Amino acid sequence: MKRRSLLRSSLLGFGALGAAHSERAQAALPKMKITKVSYYHVGDTRPIINQSSHIVVIETDEGITGIGEGGHKDSIDQLGSLIIGEDPSRIEHLWQLMYRHYFYPPGREKVHALGAIDLALWDIKGKALGVPVYELLGGLTRDHVECYATGFPSAGSLTETARACIEFGYKAFRFHGADPERGAPYEHRKIVDKTFEQCKEIREGVGENGEWAIDFHTRLDMPDAIRLCGLIEPLRPLFVEDPIRSENPEVYRTLRPQVRVPLAVGEHYGDRWDSNMLIENQLFDYARVTLPNSGGITDYMKQAAICETHYVGLVPHFTGPLAEAALVHCLCASSGPAIMEMRGKGDLAPPHLSEYYDFRKGKLYPVNKPGLGVEFDPSQAQLVSEITERERPIPLHRRPDGSVTNW
């Protein structure tokens, strides 16, 4: 504790030292080793492996602990055993180690677990240097992040609810399209007509200057998706999310020339190789990839850079409260267009997190605390596993300079 107090005190006086700042800060970073990776189940999570909000805790021999969110037990156990004894500050190196060690490229569920561990590593490094993670990513580029609402509480009719959402302070009201009557089949053409009528009600509710968005939820076939995009174009949606199924990204080469509304795609995707073709060919306008699904902050910031290069905005999908807090750091250190998804009125209060994000009147603000700025209460969670032993079942070769390459 004394060592960390000295570290924080020394960092406070660095502002006037110019180039010496980075040298002294790096010298002050303590030499650490990862000693334990723990995985906790929490009650406030969805029963979906690659959308879990379970908690990962990484402990070090310096007493600095990092907190992450996501993953499932098998993947966390496997990835955690790879990094025991490693230096947690070598985040990029550990990302490559976890991503590539088992030779076969990991699926999206495993990338989700990698992302949870990656969040914890960034949390450790920020705490070790006494700075928020956004400072490690280049510093603030914006004062706050605008948000749009998913599942805003009903205020009566759809028109009244959309109006209440905008008056609350949200940038936009998000709608997922019409549903069939309970037990009735999903008849695409009828659903398209019904959805169009509801979209007109929403436009009336948000007003001429308000914003709204719609998620097609990959429910529609190509002809119906194209028709609905055409119908709602005069209503000026902020974006249309996931208009068709995501398994074949190449299909957007066919869809994109036939629609004129802005498209938001990527909720189903993970690391940058899932969506780089779509971004580089500007086949959508906003990237929906999120944390920890992308593989964590390490990969998300690379995707943000690819998006900026190709004039694609960032509209990350909401996963859990800790990941939402981490996204604020990422977007506040990115310069492109950005808007974040928030559920309801943003008043979720997960019992296992006493501190997570700063949400006020439809906006998320950066938190000026070391690391991610989150506080985890393990007494409000169930310990599932603890990893303390290192395991490397498959060798990984290194280049002459020490960087890893595949087996």
DSSP 8-state code for residue 75: H
Helix (H) or strand (E) holding 314: strand 313-314
Residue 35 contacts residue 86 (beta carbons within 8 Å): no
Kindly give the interhelix angle for 272-280 and 297-309, rounded to the nearest 10 degrees. 10
Largest CA distance in the chain: 69
Report how far residue 294's alpha carbon sits from residue 74's, in angstroms, rounded to the nearest whole number. Answer: 18
- Residues 84-87: contacts with CB under 8 Å, at least 24 apart: 84/34, 84/35, 84/36, 84/37, 84/387, 84/388, 84/389, 84/390, 84/391, 85/33, 85/34, 85/390, 86/33, 86/34, 87/31, 87/32, 87/33, 87/34
Residue 39 contacts residue 71 (beta carbons within 8 Å): yes
Report how far residue 229's alpha carbon sits from residue 251's, in angstroms, rounded to the nearest whole number. Answer: 16
Active site residues: 217, 317
Q: Which of 342, 293, 285, 291 is nearest to 314 (CA)?
A: 285
Report how far residue 244's alpha carbon sits from residue 116's, in angstroms, rounded to the nearest whole number. Answer: 28
Report how far residue 317's alpha carbon sits from residue 266's, in angstroms, rounded to the nearest whole number. Answer: 8
Judged on CB neighbours under 10 Å (0-12, 13-18, 19+), 12 is exposed
